[in-house]
Amino acid sequence: AQSVTQPDIHITVSEGASLELRCNYSYGATPYLFWYVQSPGQGLQLLLKYFSGDTLVQGIKGFEAEFKRSQSSFNLRKPSVHWSDAAEYFCAVGNTGGGNKLTFGTGTQLKVEL
């Protein structure tokens, strides 16, 4: 069965600093990978997705992620963090058996210091 690991539960960065959130997946074939962001009391918003092709994926709000098959990783990055980026970030993998089921990691809570 597929699984996703986000090793960092909490991360604190200063505004303007760079950010990298880690994600490792377990999947038997070419994965469909996603990063979502959740603000307090809200649903999830898609930041970016990887299906195939270019391993560096650009998303909304200045985020990007790089798919590395050899490391089973899909880390999320942003060159300069803004205070409004404080939220919880979830990495997810699409279902092996078809359909739209997503398997999520446990999430990384990002705090931004001003």
Binding site for another protein (CB under 8 A): 32, 34, 36, 41-46, 49, 51, 90, 94-95, 97-107
- In whole angstroms, the minimum distance from the beta carbon of 97 to another protein comes to 7
- In whole angstroms, the minimum distance from the beta carbon of 43 to another protein comes to 4
Nearer to another protein, 28 or 114 (CB): 28
- The structure tokens listed for 57 are 């994926």
Nearer to another protein, 17 or 60 (CB): 60
Could you identify the residue written with the tokens 């603000």? 39
Strand, helix or coil for residue 92: strand
Nearest Cα residue to 23 out of 96, 105, 84, 97: 105
Nearer to another protein, 44 or 86 (CB): 44
- In whole angstroms, the minimum distance from the beta carbon of 73 to another protein comes to 19
Whether 84 contacts 16, CB under 8 Å = no
The dihedrals phi and psi of 70, each to the nearest 5 degrees, come to -65, -25
- In whole angstroms, the minimum distance from the beta carbon of 92 to another protein comes to 8
Strand, helix or coil for residue 83: helix
Nearer to another protein, 98 or 114 (CB): 98
